[in-house]
Amino acid sequence: MQATASIHTDLFFVGGGHTHAIVLRKIGMEGLPTGVRLTLITNLVDTPYSGMLPCHISGLYDFDQSHIDLRPLTRFANCRLIMDEVVDIDADQQIIHCRQHPPMKYDALSIDIGSTPGTVSVPGAKDHAIPAKPVPNLLQAWHRYLTELEGAKSATIGIVGGGVGGVELALNMQVRLQQIVRQADVHVFHRGARLATGRSRATQRQLAKIFRDRKIHTHLSESVCALERTSANTVHVHCESGLKVACDIVFWVTNASAAPWISRTGLATDKTGFILVEDTLQTISHKNVFAVGDVATMVNHPRPKAGVFAVRQGPPLYKNLQRYLSGDSLKPFKPQRQFLNIIDLGTGGAIASRGQWSAESIWFRRWKHQIDGKFMALFDQFPAMENGGDNASGKQQNIPHCAGCGSKVGSSVLSRALTRARADFPEMNHWPNPVKVGLEDPDDAAVVSIPMGKLVVQTVDQFRAIVDDPYVFAQICVNHCLSDLFAMGATPQTVLAMATLPYGEDVIQTETLYQLMAGTYQALAASHTWLVGGHTTEGPELSMGFACNGWVAADEILTKRNLSPGLGLILTKSLGTGVLFAADMQRSAKGRWIDTAVSSMVQSNQAAAHCLRDHGVVACTDITGFGLLRHLYEMLSPGLGMDLNLEALPVLPGVRDCFEAGYLSSLHKRNQQIERHLNNPQPHQVNYPLLFDPQTSGGLLAAIPQENVSACLMALRQKGYVHSRYIGDVVSAIEGQAPFTIRR
């Protein structure tokens, strides 16, 4: 028997704002009470740092310098990362609803989702303006506009909102535009009588002078009443005064608004929709829910929606979460009344202000860059953890866990999770059903009928969780396992699931299994494959696998060894999951690289298999743990060889960076033993390591007649396999030489 801590509490973070980023780092260093499982839900793996956004706009900072990558941060904090957008929270039932995940239950919750500019009331604003938030949309629109300006002589942009945010955008956008075009016109529309409403008169006077000197068009005391698109490249800004200005693009930077769904949560809010919190940062209506950053309003200490306050809330939130989870009394937090604000002018100087004091200097900009750089460095390299958290909850944690059948998950966990997951997919009731005895029956095995005259095809696979989102992990696992059937030309019919759940209380394991089963049903839906049973145990970490069953006609079986000279080799997915996740385990893979890899892994090979069949596929296999070259070798028969084009290999983003940094999958060196069958190894070619990189839920590798290659690639890309590539040819072997030759 093994003594291992059980999970008894689910703590969820919604949103990856500044406060949560700081708390995640603190958790990585100092831990949480034993038995607490932490999960972050966010739709942005790269969270923008507001302090550096203007200088990213101007081109001074690149993307990585101005964004916090949440994936290595969550790895450091031992926090599950779920990439999705929260669309509702039922605070009374303690349930989180996401756009693309099944509902998730929490015991404690912290919300840090920021705010959005209000645009709804102005006609045309929703369709024709670019809101300042969410920031990724702003940056995407900005960079697209800059690309469109290539070769142009002039540019005209409009910015609605002359607060500090709008002022900084105007100043820094002008700097970037002047690097591209001769004439850059910037129009700022502001309903206030002075720029930077709420700042000191001295600051306002300085900004007014700078705007005049830099010839930025300032339209004060102007209320925008409509936006009208008159052509593909022109948006007219209409003001109540009758002012009308034609712009190429309009950015909307008005007062902050709360996400509309917050009003449905049952959480107490102020009249503008922001969540009301006490001095402890707990919501006034639900003590197990915390809220911080722009989304929250402190009842006793209301402050402007500014990043500096979000940053300052990090340490007290961490301490109060520790106290809440340990059953201790929470301590109040009182934010500072005034703060130092530094407005970057984009041209080398900055205005610093605090209260009524204000001054301009190049040194303030240098100071700001030092402050911002020091802050971002906190999330670049992580120190060693000081301790693993304490058992402060008073609950029994280190319970011996049995082996053998004593390690099975309780029947109530199974029944509740399966019932919930099955109810999420009512469309299954309309599928053809070959199952005679299955999950609904209390028997010891499943009974399934197969079509008359068909042969049964069986395969099995299982592995540890490659991502810590159980819903997505299940989809990856299903697609990985079913690929063996698709590669054989078979039609999937049923699967048996095998899952190991982390040790935990019944309610925790039920939630984990529910997410796994929901992901399973989601991935099985495309092929109308039935889950007919399985086996679930508990252990130290999450793992999953499937025994898959399908059928095929005897004359339609696809095998690996049916090759002949003159066939072309096609690969349907990009390579590199092995090295990417090896780097991810060391907190060295960028979140966006992993996101792209996950998108590839959750893509089924079913449609690709049908497409290959339509184009005369002769032999097929799927690329998995043994790597590309080993799978190619398995397809060879005596007298055959292959010419390979390494430059044609499709590569996932970030793979080359990881190889260059020295990362390799733990299976890479064993896979590389196949290297002896290469006639001309080229270890210095950038794609060479991909020959040995193990893949999870990789693509199909197929041999088809040479005359069908172009049409097949076009069809594959139309079906969504946009990275499909023609990577080589089957040739006659040359006596005395190794079978594989790399084209030079």
Which of the residues are catalytic?
405
**Structure token pair of residue 133:** 């938030």
Assign 211 to helix, strand or coil: helix
**What's the DSSP call for residue 726?**
E
The backbone region for 370, taken as left when phi is positive above 0, alpha when psi lies in -120 to 50, beta otherwise, is alpha
Interatomic CA distance for residues 637 and 564, integer angstroms: 9
Q: Containing H/E element for 612?
A: helix 606-614
Count of beta carbons in the 10 Å neighbourhood of residue 195: 25
DSSP for 254-312? -SEE--GGGGGS---B-TTSPEEE-TTSBBSS-TTEEE-GGGEEESSS---S-HHHHHH
Distance of CA 490 to the CA centre of its chain: 33
576-608 in b/e form (b: 16+ CB < 10 A) is: bbbbbbbbbeebbbbbbbbebbbebbbbbbbbb
343-364 in b/e form (b: 16+ CB < 10 A) is: bbbbbebbbbbeeeebebeeeb
Assign 60 to helix, strand or coil: coil
Interatomic CA distance for residues 101 and 115, integer angstroms: 23
**Structure token pair of residue 347:** 């041209």
Assign 679 to helix, strand or coil: coil
From start to end of 438-591, where are the E strands? 447-448, 455-464, 491-502, 530-539, 543-552, 567-571
Interatomic CA distance for residues 579 and 585, integer angstroms: 10
Q: 339 near 308, Cβ under 8 Å?
A: yes
DSSP for 394-442? -S--EEEE--GGGGBPPHHHHHHHHHHHHHT-GGGGGS---EEE-TTS-
- Dihedrals φ, ψ of 113, to 5°? -110, 5
Q: Which residues contact 564 (CB under 8 A, 6 or more apart)?
A: 618, 640, 730
